[in-house]
C-alpha cells in the first residue's frame, strides 16, 4: 500500500516540521528550535489525540497549499489562520481554526495566511513522519539539521504522514489568541553596561518590530540604547529570550533558532511566560518592556502553565 | 572555581568563573560541564560552556533557580572529571581564492603574507568552546604578531570551511554563515557531521588543534 502524504502545491514562506525541540545540544552549537508558539502547537496535537511531542507543520505568514494523496486523515489548524479546504470534487469549505476536519484522498488544504500574527500549525492525527536528530525532528535551517535535510519545504516535495486513518475523530475548542503589549523582562547580566538614560528609555519608550525578524531573532527599532562600558563582551552562551544590544544600539531578542554563543551585552531577558505571544507579533507592531523580579516571573510562568493545561483539558 | 552564580532570565543559571580568558579558567569550566553532563540533575535542559562562563538552562516546570543553584553549589570540586584531550590535525589550503583577507592583514600588520601564514601554522591551538553555529570551534591563542580586530563590516556570507582569525582567536566556519573574522584559508574536512550523532564534532572543548598546509590539488581531491 502507498504511504499517505501531502503533496506540496505551494510551499508557503517558511514551512517546516517542528516538535518540542532539541535538548542538551547547546554545547555543540545547536539551539532548541521547535515550535515557536508552544501553546498553539500543543493545542493542535491534543485536538487530534496526539502525544505532546508529535511533529506538526509550522508555517509563517502565507502557509502552504497541500494535496492529500493515498489516504485519509483528521487534521486541525491552530493559531489565527485563514484557510480553506478544497474537496476532490472542487467544493470549497471555509476553514475554522481549533476545530478538526477530515480529509480524503485528493482533498486540498489551502492555508492562505495568518491574521495579524506570524505562526500557525497544521497537526494531523498520528503526526507527520519526520527525520530525527538528537531526539527531535525540528528543522534548524542554519545547521541543516532535522527533517527534509534541515530545509524549509519547497514546491512539489512530499510530507509523509505516519498513518492514514480509518477512524476520523472530531474535536474542537474555543480559543482566543490574546495580544500582548507589555513584554515582561528580567534584568540581563550586563544591565549596568548601559547609560542611566538608556536604562530608563528601555523600560518606558516604545520599540517597533522590524522586518529583520525570523525564527532566529527579532530586531527592534526605538530609542538607541547607549552602552557606556563596552559594546563587546567575551563570547558566552545565550538562551532564547535574551535581549542583546549590538554596537548600533538597536536591541535584538534571541528566538528558538538563535546562535548558541554571542558577544554582545545583554540588557534583559524576556520571561518564559511571554515568549509564545511575543513571537506572534508582526513587523510594524510596537512593544514596551516592563521590568519585573524573578519571583514574579516564576509565578507568571506557573499561571501560564496552568492556563495551558486548563485549555487542553477543555478540549472536547 | 565558580566565582558567582546569578540568574539569566527565569530559566537559566549564569555561572561566572571570572573575566580572564585562559586555559586554566576554561579547563575549570569544562570540568564542571563534563561533571554536570555525567551526573544528570533533573530539569536541566542545556549546558553551555564558554571561555569563562557556564550557562545552565532548565525547565521551569520541573525546577526553579534557587533550587538548582543550591544543587550546583553542592558539586564537590575534588570529584570533577579530569579532561580528556585529543590532538586534532586540520588540513588547510591557503590558495589565493581561499585567502580572502591575507592581503589586508599583510598591509595592516606590515608583515609579509608568508610570515603571517608561517606564524599561524607554527602554533598549537587550544579549543575553548564550540558553538554559535553547529560545531564551530573557538581556538586560541593566535601569535601576538598577527592579531587584528574583526572586519568593520562583516561579510554576509563566509564560505563553509573558512579558517578565520580575530584578536587572540582562530575559528572554522562549519557552515556558510555571516561573519566578520579575517579569512586566511579553507579546510576540505567536515567539522560537524550530523550523521555521527554520538560524536558529531571533530574538535571538542579541551582538544588541541594543529593546522597544516595542503596544496590546491590535495584540497580538491580530499577524501575523508
Q: What is the mean pLDDT of residues A228-252?
A: 94
Choose from B3, B8, B10 for mutation: most chain A CBs within 10 A. Answer: B10
- Please name each of the domains of chain B with its CATH number: 4-79 (3.30.1360.40), 87-220 (2.40.100.10)
CA distance, residue B100 to nearest chain A CA (Å)? 23
Using pLDDT thresholds of 50, 70 and 90, give the confidence band for residue A311. Answer: very high
Flag whether pLDDT at A172 surpasses 80. Answer: yes
B-chain residues within 8 Å CB-CB of A143? Answer: 133-135, 175, 192, 194
Q: Percent of chain B, pLDDT > 70?
A: 99
B-chain residues within 8 Å CB-CB of A189? Answer: 6, 8, 14
Domain A5-160 CATH (choose: 3.40.390, 1.10.260, 2.60.120, 1.10.3470)? 2.60.120
Q: What is the mean pLDDT of residues A64-90?
A: 96
Residue A234 contacts B, CB cutoff 8 Å: yes
Residue of B nearest to A189 (CA): B8
CA distance, residue A146 to nearest chain B CA (Å)? 9
The Cα–Cα gap between A104 and A109 comes to: 11
User: What is the dihedral angle through the alpha carbons of A76, A19, A126, A68, rounded to the nearest 10 degrees?
Assistant: 60
Residue of A nearest to B18 (CA): A234
Of A28, A297, A305, the CB nearest to B134: A28
CA distance, residue A24 to nearest chain B CA (Å)? 4
Spatial contact of B136 and B173, defined as CB atoms under 8 Å apart: yes
B83-136: pLDDT as tens digits: 778 999 999 999 999 999 999 999 999 999 999 999 999 999 999 999 999 999
The Cα–Cα gap between A86 and A76 comes to: 15
Domain A183-313 CATH (choose: 3.40.50.620, 2.40.50.140, 2.40.100.10, 3.40.50.1980)? 2.40.100.10
B-chain residues within 8 Å CB-CB of A29? Answer: 130-136, 174, 192
Q: What is the pLDDT of residue A167?
A: 82
Q: What is the pLDDT of residue B223?
A: 86
Residue A129 contacts B, CB cutoff 8 Å: no
Residue of A nearest to B197 (CA): A134
**Nearest alpha-carbon partner for B164 in B155, B134, B215, B204:** B155
Lowest-confidence range among A8-17, B19-28, B49-58?
A: B19-28
The size of the A-B interface in CB pairs under 8 A is 139
Flag whether pLDDT at B196 surpasses 70. Answer: yes
Residue whose cell numbers read 568552546: B129
Q: What is the pLDDT of residue A1?
A: 59
Flag whether pLDDT at A80 surpasses 70. Answer: yes
On the question of a cis peptide bond just before residue A275, with omega within 30 degrees of 0, the verdict is no
SS (H, E, C) chain B: CCCEEEECCCCEEEEECCCCCCHHHHHHHHHHHHHHHHCCCCCEEEEEECCCEEEEEECCCCCCHHHHHHHHHCCCHHHCCCCCCCEEEEEEECCHHHCCCHHHHHHHHCCCHHHHHHHHHHCEEEEEEECCCCCCEEEECCCHHHCCCCCCCCEEEECCCEEEEECCEEEECCCCEEECCEEEEECCCCCECCCCCCCCECCCCCCEEEEEEECHHHHHCCCC
Strand, coil or helix: what is A30? Answer: coil
Strand, coil or helix: what is A225? Answer: coil
The Cα–Cα gap between B131 and B46 comes to: 13
Q: What is the pLDDT of residue A163?
A: 86
Flag whether pLDDT at A218 surpasses 80. Answer: yes
Q: What is the mean pLDDT of residues A242-256?
A: 95
Residue of B nearest to A242 (CA): B9
Flag whether pLDDT at A150 surpasses 70. Answer: yes
Flag whether pLDDT at B40 surpasses 90. Answer: no
Q: What is the mean pLDDT of residues A28-50?
A: 97
Q: Which residues contact A212 (CB under 8 A, 6 or more apart)?
A: A219
Residue A295 contacts B, CB cutoff 8 Å: no
User: CA A96 → CA A77, A85, A174, A222, A234, distances in Å?
Assistant: 8, 10, 11, 37, 50
User: CA A146 → CA A155, B122, B153, B214, distances in Å?
Assistant: 18, 39, 32, 33
Host H or E run for residue A259: none
CA distance, residue B184 to nearest chain A CA (Å)? 22
- Average model confidence (pLDDT) for chain A? 96
Q: What is the pLDDT of residue A250?
A: 95
User: CA B98 → CA B102, B156, B185, B216, B221, distances in Å?
Assistant: 9, 16, 5, 10, 16
Q: What is the pLDDT of residue B156?
A: 87
**Residues constituting chain B:** 224
Per-domain residue ranges for chain A?
A: 5-160, 183-313
Flag whether pLDDT at B50 surpasses 70. Answer: yes
Residue of B nearest to A257 (CA): B133
Tell if the CB–CB gap between B8 and A133 is shorter than 8 Å. Answer: no
Model pTM score? 0.95
Spatial contact of A31 and A257, defined as CB atoms under 8 Å apart: yes
Flag whether pLDDT at B160 surpasses 70. Answer: yes
Half-sphere exposure of A313 (CA within 13 A, CB side): 6
Q: Would residue A21 be called left, alpha or beta, if left means φ above 0 and alpha means ψ between -120 and 50 degrees?
A: left
A262-298: pLDDT as tens digits: 999 999 999 999 999 999 999 999 999 999 999 999 9
Q: A33: exposed, middle or buried (C-beta count within 10 Å: 0-12, 13-18, 19+)?
A: buried
Amino acid at each position: 500500500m502507498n504511504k499517505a502524504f501531502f503533496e506540496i502545491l505551494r510551499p508557503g514562506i517558511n514551512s517546516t516540521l517542528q516538535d518540542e525541540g532539541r535538548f542538551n545540544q547547546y554545547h555543540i552549537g545547536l539551539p532548541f528550535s521547535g515550535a515557536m508558539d508552544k501553546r498553539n502547537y500543543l493545542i493542535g496535537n491534543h485536538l487530534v489525540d496526539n502525544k505532546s511531542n508529535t511533529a506538526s507543520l509550522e508555517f509563517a505568514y502565507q502557509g502552504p497549499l497541500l494535496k492529500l494523496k493515498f489516504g485519509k486523515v483528521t487534521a486541525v489548524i491552530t493559531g489565527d489562520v485563514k484557510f480553506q479546504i478544497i474537496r476532490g470534487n472542487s467544493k470549497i469549505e471555509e476553514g475554522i481554526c481549533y476545530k478538526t476536519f477530515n480529509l480524503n484522498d485528493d482533498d486540498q488544504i489551502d492555508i492562505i495566511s495568518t491574521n495579524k500574527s506570524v505562526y500557525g500549525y497544521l497537526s494531523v492525527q498520528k503526526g507527520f513522519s519526520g527525520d530525527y536528530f538528537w531526539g527531535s525532528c525540528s528543522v534548524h535551517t542554519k545547521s541543516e539539521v532535522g527533517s527534509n535535510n534541515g530545509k524549509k519545504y519547497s514546491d512539489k516535495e512530499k510530507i509523509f504522514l505516519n498513518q492514514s486513518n480509518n477512524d476520523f475523530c472530531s474535536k474542537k475548542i474555543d480559543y482566543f489568541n490574546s495580544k500582548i503589549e507589555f513584554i515582561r523582562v528580567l534584568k540581563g547580566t550586563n544591565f549596568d553596561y548601559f547609560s542611566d538614560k538608556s536604562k530608563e528609555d528601555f523600560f518606558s519608550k516604545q520599540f517597533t518590530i522590524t522586518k529583520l525578524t525570523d525564527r532566529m531573532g527579532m530586531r527592534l527599532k526605538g530609542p538607541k540604547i547607549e552602552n557606556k562600558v563596552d559594546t563587546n563582551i567575551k563570547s558566552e552562551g545565550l538562551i532564547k529570550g535574551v535581549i542583546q544590544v549590538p554596537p548600533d544600539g538597536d536591541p535584538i531578542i534571541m528566538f528558538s533558532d538563535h546562535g548558541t554563543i554571542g558577544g554582545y551585552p545583554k540588557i534583559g531577558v524576556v520571561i518564559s511566560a511571554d515568549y509564545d505571544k511575543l513571537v506572534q507579533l508582526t513587523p510594524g507592531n510596537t512593544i514596551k518592556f516592563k521590568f519585573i523580579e524573578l519571583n514574579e516571573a516564576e509565578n507568571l510562568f506557573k499561571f501560564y502553565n496552568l492556563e495551558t493545561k486548563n485549555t487542553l483539558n477543555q478540549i472536547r | 572555581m565558580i566565582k558567582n552564580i546569578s540568574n539569566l532570565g527565569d530559566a537559566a543559571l549564569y555561572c561566572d568563573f571570572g573575566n580572564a580568558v585562559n586555559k586554566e579558567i576554561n579547563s575549570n569550566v569544562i570540568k564542571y560541564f563534563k561533571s554536570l553532563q555525567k551526573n544528570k540533575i533533573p530539569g536541566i535542559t542545556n549546558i553551555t560552556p564558554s571561555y569563562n562562563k557556564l550557562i545552565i538552562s532548565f525547565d521551569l516546570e520541573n525546577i526553579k533557580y534557587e533550587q538548582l543553584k543550591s544543587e550546583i553549589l553542592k558539586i564537590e570540586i575534588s570529584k570533577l572529571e579530569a579532561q580528556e584531550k585529543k590532538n586534532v590535525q586540520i588540513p588547510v589550503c591557503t590558495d589565493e581564492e581561499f585567502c580572502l583577507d591575507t592581503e589586508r592583514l599583510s598591509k595592516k600588520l606590515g608583515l609579509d603574507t608568508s610570515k603571517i601564514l608561517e606564524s599561524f601554522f607554527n602554533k598549537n591551538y587550544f579549543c575553548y568552546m564550540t558553538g554559535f553555529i553547529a560545531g564551530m570551534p573557538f581556538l586560541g591563542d593566535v601569535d601576538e604578531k598577527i592579531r587584528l580586530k574583526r572586519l568593520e563590516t562583516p561579510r554576509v556570507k563566509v564560505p563553509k570551511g573558512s579558517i578565520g582569525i580575530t584578536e587572540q582567536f582562530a575559528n572554522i566556519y562549519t557552515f556558510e554563515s555571516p561573519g566578520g573574522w579575517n579569512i586566511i584559508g579553507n579546510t576540505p574536512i567536515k567539522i560537524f557531521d550530523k550523521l555521527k550523532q554520538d560524536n558529531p564534532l571533530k574538535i571538542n572543548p579541551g582538544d588541541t588543534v594543529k593546522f597544516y598546509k595542503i596544496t590546491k590539488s590535495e584540497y580538491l581531491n580530499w577524501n575523508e
